[in-house]
A and B are shown apart, each in its own frame.
Chain A
């Protein structure tokens, strides 16, 4: 009865790695932010699995805070992206060479 806890951790790790690939390999600021969202999602899956594994509510409470922090991070990140786009007219991080 029940799936092993390792499977849940493996799923969380896979989602985290997918987000990492997205954040490291895409060349678009919006896709990089999406990759960060995917990584947060993987962390939330791991926390929910751990909450069920040890029958504690702390894991679920942490997922609540992950969701709150993701909302804060996305609102600020998207505002910065809009500002950068209006300033430079591009979303490619390699185009931001003002200081160079």
Chain B
């Protein structure tokens, strides 16, 4: 049991626990804050797996920008939390049954697969090498992603600008 293994199990427990807490909260703000903890756990995991640039991006973009956008929207809409019926049985029962089936079958699949037991070697990608790879091997995908972000921005502006509550509900 090396330090690498201990760190992996600790981070995995952290991610699963905070994500599980996040999806069961009734209060939306609490859910978002717990999910921010979960994304911090993912950032730690990315750093442990040797990509510090993606770990930083995870904190900056996911935890810093996306989740804060959620918080802004929740505060802007001023939703009263307790009106939601938490987990109505006719929705939660099939979801949990399917999820349990997937976890059990996936676990069995991984146990019986010999190639899943290969241990991970430690490696580290420097941000400069990663950037060089991105902009030489997949520059077209970068352009497409930037175009997608532009389209999403224009779409969000258009949808948000529409004068609300015109006639019927």
Residues of A that sit less than 8 Å from B by CB: 1-11, 13-15, 17-22, 24-28, 30-31, 33-35, 37-38, 41, 44-45, 48-49, 51-53, 55, 57, 60-61, 63-65, 67-76, 78-83, 85-89, 91-92, 98
Contacts and interface: CB of A to CB of B under 8 A. Distances in A.
Given A18-B16, A25-B91, A31-B31, A13 B102 contact: yes
Given A15-B16, A38-B19, A75-B152, 9 more contacts: A2-B4, A6-B113, A9-B116, A18-B99, A28-B84, A37-B35, A49-B49, A76-B159, A83-B164
Contact of A15 (B15, B153, B168): B15
Given A13-B102, A26-B23, A34-B23, A92 B84 contact: yes
B62 interface: yes
Nearest to B157: A79
A17 B164 CA distance: 36
B61 A71 contact: yes
Contact of B106 (A10, A18, A34, A57): A10
Nearest to B19: A18
A85 B162 CA distance: 13
Contacts of A51: 49, 51
B116 A6 contact: yes
B128 interface: no
Given A37-B35, A74-B69, A88 B169 contact: yes
A91 B36 CA distance: 22
B99 A17 contact: yes
Interface in B1-36: 2, 4-5, 8, 12, 15-16, 19-20, 22-23, 28, 31-32, 35
B66 A71 contact: yes
B159 to A, nearest CB: 4
18 contacts: A2-B122, A17-B103, A18-B20, A21-B99, A25-B92, A26-B87, A38-B35, A45-B42, A48-B45, A61-B130, A63-B51, A69-B148, A72-B152, A74-B70, A75-B156, A76-B152, A81-B77, A83-B162
Contacts of B92: 21, 25
